[in-house]
A and B are shown apart, each in its own frame.
Chain A
């Protein structure tokens, strides 16, 4: 799951970034409206944390342009401005949630988690696919109630697969959603991690569709 933070206050941005990374997200940060708009326009994000009082292009402006261009990723507005008028305006323009500063980090994480889940069409924070189960709020994974030990990248990959279970996901899509922009991207790493996941959750869980990508499936005879 890949998140974009658009926030001009570097300390706030860093805190949110650290917290989100710890929670297993790939995180990109933009410090002004122009950059934020560009990233949201060109990269596939699973959720966006958007400040309103941005230098250059304002947050509402950024959101309006994304929505006009057909980008439907969930957006949470994180703003120091907390009147109902501002909330109404933000949500009317197309935001999915609104959190006022100062905020509790746990609340932000819970809301982001809910947005990401809803973006993928999932209702519960616990996702399961056959015997495989993950708790997105605690970043834990199990196979048949046996806890799994996963690296951060492995968890990110598994979480993305779980959010899109039964769908065939290309290597490019997987790369885009589990790596932040400034992280080294190597599509061969995906193959390596898929193999490691197969070892941990069972080889039958992940099918390879040659030339198209990978599929996490509940069926045993994939």
Chain B
């Protein structure tokens, strides 16, 4: 299941995950550091206020505590602003800021230090309390300064919002570059894929060699496989050729020798030699067919093949003075092994030449990635039932008779192996039209 997830998706997902994780941790750390920094600053501010109070405080000769000047901060005058100060003597309020009125600050805490408590309005406060011995004082005073915790919280909150925005932008940038990286890094693999499909569709015969070293071994192996595939086919064809040579010479001699033996023995020998020759011919031809599945990167130029066959057949049928016309074959490429295409068209064109009285026409055009080829003659034509028979003889090879039908049945077999289509119809020239549909290059 997970084996199917694409490499790009894997890399993009994992980079998004680690970016998100890292940024979350970083954000939490930054916010924590900022919070403690703000708290320290807040405590420092409270302490500063307290220092100011202490500096302003004086005990007069009567033993009463009074301030030489009032703290300047206006927040200390606004009622219930959250900013307060008080000076206590034995838990009794001696002096206090206007903002708090008569309520006791930090009622629950007696000692010095930093602590938190609620004010009369229910606001959370942060308080700094310090016991101070003033000169001339009979006993120590407790100085308390308080500020609202919400100030810290607001700062932290705002900061967290800012950090979140910044980190989100950063995350988008990081994931974006990560995706770009993945696309860039995986481009060679995509090229391998594209080259392979180009090979498959016959647009090229092997993969190009300019790949990064990580991919190069794979590409080399693929090329080696393609070469091996080709050499295997060539070797098989060479062996078949050798076998043909080895079998056909003796058969030729036998055929010659039995041709003038009289009587039933002569007939028997001729029949047997004839049937052996026919089988050898049929199966050797079959063995030579490469077929679509056997050749990756198969491609044949239709124009060249038709041109070669036209020349060959015009030479072989020179006495009949045939006119073989070809239209639209130039520049068309088909997804077939060239030798298979030669056999296929050679047999169809040869058949047309056999029947033609003067004209054979080969026409080709491409449509929807397929190549349609028509081979027509102006011969006497063949009745519909005979045409049917020709096709059937092709599809059921073993029932076919040796001789003239062999070429057509081979043509039908090659067409079938390439997933093509071959039908015989009446031609506008008067004779038979063999209409062939085969895959074009790039389909």
**A84 contact from B249, B273, B346, Cβ within 8 A:** B346
Residues of chain B within 8 A of A98, CB atoms compared: 312, 316
Residues of chain A within 8 A of B259, CB atoms compared: 105
Q: How many residues of A contact B (CB 8 A)?
A: 27
Residues of chain B within 8 A of A198, CB atoms compared: none
Residues of chain B within 8 A of A188, CB atoms compared: none
The reply to whether A9 and B249 form a contact with Cβ atoms under 8 Å apart is yes
Task: List residues 68-106 of chain A with CB under 8 A from any CB of chain B.
Answer: 80-85, 87-88, 91-92, 96-98, 100-105
A189 within 8 A of B: no
CB distance from B352 to the nearest CB of A (A): 14
The reply to whether B248 and A85 form a contact with Cβ atoms under 8 Å apart is no
The reply to whether B255 and A81 form a contact with Cβ atoms under 8 Å apart is no
B256 within 8 A of A: yes
A195 within 8 A of B: no
Task: Please give me the residue from chain B that is nearest to A97 by CB atom.
Answer: B316
B253 within 8 A of A: yes
A85 to B256, CA, bound (A): 27
Task: List residues 239-261 of chain B with CB under 8 A from any CB of chain A.
Answer: 241, 244-245, 247-249, 251-257, 259
**B288 contact from A83, A97, A100, A104, Cβ within 8 A:** A83
CB distance from B241 to the nearest CB of A (A): 6
CB distance from B380 to the nearest CB of A (A): 23
A53 within 8 A of B: yes
CB distance from B255 to the nearest CB of A (A): 5
A64 to B6, CA, bound (A): 58
The reply to whether A96 and B288 form a contact with Cβ atoms under 8 Å apart is no
Residues of chain A within 8 A of B315, CB atoms compared: 91, 96-97
A150 to B223, CA, bound (A): 69
The reply to whether B245 and A53 form a contact with Cβ atoms under 8 Å apart is yes
**A83 contact from B247, B249, B311, B343, Cβ within 8 A:** B343
Contact flag A102-B288 (CB < 8 Å), given A81-B244, A88-B309, A114-B319: no
Contact flag A91-B252 (CB < 8 Å), given A15-B257, A80-B245, A83-B343: no
Contact flag A102-B277 (CB < 8 Å), given A11-B253, A91-B315: yes
CB distance from A6 to the nearest CB of B (A): 14
A12 within 8 A of B: yes
The reply to whether B343 and A82 form a contact with Cβ atoms under 8 Å apart is no
The reply to whether B252 and A85 form a contact with Cβ atoms under 8 Å apart is no
The reply to whether A88 and B251 form a contact with Cβ atoms under 8 Å apart is no
A103 to B253, CA, bound (A): 9
The reply to whether A101 and B339 form a contact with Cβ atoms under 8 Å apart is no
B342 within 8 A of A: yes
Residues of chain A within 8 A of B318, CB atoms compared: 96, 118
Residues of chain B within 8 A of A15, CB atoms compared: 252-253, 256-257
The reply to whether A85 and B245 form a contact with Cβ atoms under 8 Å apart is no
0 or 1 for each of B8-32: is its CB under 8 Å from A? (1 = yes): 0000000000000000000000000
CB distance from A148 to the nearest CB of B (A): 26
CB distance from B172 to the nearest CB of A (A): 62
The reply to whether B309 and A91 form a contact with Cβ atoms under 8 Å apart is no
The reply to whether B255 and A102 form a contact with Cβ atoms under 8 Å apart is yes
A11 to B347, CA, bound (A): 30
B308 within 8 A of A: yes
The reply to whether A88 and B249 form a contact with Cβ atoms under 8 Å apart is no
The reply to whether B311 and A88 form a contact with Cβ atoms under 8 Å apart is yes
CB distance from A174 to the nearest CB of B (A): 28
Task: Please give me the residue from chain B that is nearest to A15 by CB atom.
Answer: B256
Residues of chain B within 8 A of A91, CB atoms compared: 311-312, 315-316
Residues of chain B within 8 A of A104, CB atoms compared: 255
A96 to B311, CA, bound (A): 11
The reply to whether A88 and B308 form a contact with Cβ atoms under 8 Å apart is yes
Task: Please give me the residue from chain B that is nearest to A84 by CB atom.
Answer: B346
A80 to B253, CA, bound (A): 12
0 or 1 for each of B128-160: is its CB under 8 Å from A? (1 = yes): 000000000000000000000000000000000
Task: List residues 132-170 of chain A with CB under 8 A from any CB of chain B.
Answer: none
Task: List residues 306-347 of chain B with CB under 8 A from any CB of chain A.
Answer: 308-309, 311-312, 315-316, 318-319, 339, 342-343, 345-347
Residues of chain B within 8 A of A92, CB atoms compared: 308, 311-312
Task: Please give me the residue from chain A that is nearest to B308 by CB atom.
Answer: A88
Residues of chain A within 8 A of B316, CB atoms compared: 87, 91, 97-98
Task: List residues 25-79 of chain A with CB under 8 A from any CB of chain B.
Answer: 53
Residues of chain B within 8 A of A101, CB atoms compared: 248-249, 251-252
The reply to whether A105 and B342 form a contact with Cβ atoms under 8 Å apart is no
Residues of chain B within 8 A of A87, CB atoms compared: 312, 316, 346
Task: Please give me the residue from chain B that is nearest to A87 by CB atom.
Answer: B312
CB distance from A126 to the nearest CB of B (A): 15
Contact flag A88-B312 (CB < 8 Å), given A82-B244, A102-B277: yes
The reply to whether B253 and A12 form a contact with Cβ atoms under 8 Å apart is yes
The reply to whether B342 and A88 form a contact with Cβ atoms under 8 Å apart is yes
Residues of chain A within 8 A of B245, CB atoms compared: 53, 80-81
CB distance from B144 to the nearest CB of A (A): 109
A208 to B151, CA, bound (A): 141
Task: Please give me the residue from chain A that is nearest to B251 by CB atom.
Answer: A102
CB distance from B429 to the nearest CB of A (A): 23
* Interface residue ranges, B against A (CB under 8 Å): 241, 244-245, 247-249, 251-257, 259, 273, 277, 281, 288, 308-309, 311-312, 315-316, 318-319, 339, 342-343, 345-347
New A-B contacts (20) at CB < 8 Å, excluding given A80-B247, A84-B309:
A9-B253, A11-B249, A11-B253, A15-B256, A15-B257, A81-B245, A84-B312, A84-B347, A88-B311, A88-B312, A88-B342, A91-B312, A92-B308, A98-B316, A100-B248, A101-B248, A102-B248, A102-B252, A102-B273, A103-B255
* Interface residue ranges, A against B (CB under 8 Å): 9, 11-12, 15, 19, 53, 80-85, 87-88, 91-92, 96-98, 100-105, 114, 118
**Lowest 10 CB-CB distances: which A-B pairs, in order?**
A84-B346, A80-B248, A102-B252, A15-B256, A11-B253, A101-B248, A84-B342, A102-B251, A101-B252, A80-B245
A–B Cβ pairs within 8 angstroms, 5 of them: A11-B253, A88-B312, A96-B315, A100-B248, A102-B248
